[in-house]
Amino acid sequence: MLRDLYGRVVTNLRISVTQRCNLNCIYCHREGEKECVKELSAEKIAEIANAFYELGVKKIKITGGEPLLRKDICEIISMLPEFDEISLTTNGTLLSEKAYDLREAGLDRVNVSLDTLNSEKFSLITGSDKLESVLEGIRSAVEANLTPLKLNMVLLKGINDEEVFDVLSFANSFNKDDVKVILQLIELIPNEKTRKFYLNPEIFEEIFSRTAKIVKIRDMHRRRQFFTPFGVVEIVKPLDNTEFCRHCNRIRVTSDGKIKLCLLRDEFIDISNLSGEELKKEIVKAVKMRKPFFT
């Protein structure tokens, strides 16, 4: 079991397999990672994942950049140990052609970025006109049973804040017999260019609190899932949130093989050249160095 000095047990691994991307989203922060020159091999990714698995990590999420740009993405997934859940975050543009192969390789579910259903706003946010490809990817992922699928919608004041219920309705259109698609409202981590678009998601948390039939509290950051008559929505609020930090059970590995100790800190521990017991010892050491950003 991986436990830091604040008593937080690490059960979830988030590992980036590339920093390459075919979109250019205005809010992308690369989780603090600079553009990577050399990506880890599939074998090294599997080795690192297996070390975390042997140390008690239960779930893994494959991220990027855009992970589907890696030609060996299915090979990577097939080489992973038997985590309780293997998921992947994608912008969805390449998902329709790969959804069934990903499922066959062992992927359980996906998160897909969908900030808007408006093609002009999509181009403004992403620098691309690929909205229809994303929507087709979502449909294909549901058909391939890569569910529950989560739609990641970053809240942007004056751009998409009036579309929340439209996107929620789109998500709910897949939920005929059970919950296959969930909307995940994500607080913007602002930079100099995007600070003017910041909107506190607590506004929507209050709205959904009043209409929800059921509210579930997740172990992950104590996030709240609202089961409303309009669909299922989850709020992700990392900023100025002591509860988020107090219950953080996730750790990150960059595409060049560095452990990132905290989402909001650029603190890294290089494990790219380690193997075996030496690798596991460095992971344990890194976990002991974790500390909450907000206390």
- Tens digits of residue pLDDT in 153-212: 999 999 999 999 999 999 999 999 899 999 999 999 998 889 999 999 999 999 999 999
Give residue 219's pLDDT: 84
Q: Are 186 and 160 within 8 A, CB to CB?
A: no
Q: Which of 80, 79, 111 is nearest to 95 (CA)?
A: 111
- Tens digits of residue pLDDT in 23-64: 999 999 887 777 666 899 999 999 999 999 999 999 999 999
230: its two tokens: 């309009």
How far apart are alpha carbons 136 and 144 in whole angstroms? 12
* Residue reference for tokens 């989780």: 31
How far apart are alpha carbons 73 and 102 in whole angstroms? 8
Q: Which of 4, 1, 2 is nearest to 292 (CA)?
A: 4
- Tens digits of residue pLDDT in 59-106: 999 999 999 999 999 999 999 999 999 999 999 999 999 999 999 999
Helices (H), ranges, the chain: 42-54, 73-78, 99-105, 119-126, 131-143, 164-172, 202-211, 242-246, 276-288
How far apart are alpha carbons 257 and 34 in whole angstroms? 12
Q: Which of 151, 69, 60, 153 is nearest to 107 (CA)?
A: 60
Give residue 222's pLDDT: 85
Peptide bond before 65: cis, by omega within 30 degrees of 0?
yes
Residue 183 backbone phi and psi in degrees, to 5: -90, 130
Percent of the chain past pLDDT 70, that is, above it, reads: 99
End-to-end CA distance of the chain: 24
Q: Which of 261, 247, 238 is nearest to 190 (CA)?
A: 238
Give residue 36's pLDDT: 63
The pTM assigned to this predicted structure is 0.95
Class of domain 10-288 as given by CATH: alpha beta
Q: Are 160 and 127 within 8 A, CB to CB?
A: no
- Tens digits of residue pLDDT in 225-249: 999 999 999 999 999 999 999 999 9
pLDDT (average), residues 103-129: 98
Give me the residues paired with residue 149 across strands: 181
pLDDT (average), residues 250-279: 96
Specify burial of residue 21 (Cβ count, 10 A radius: 0-12, 13-18, 19+): middle
Handedness of CA 239, 21, 113, 248 (dihedral sign): negative
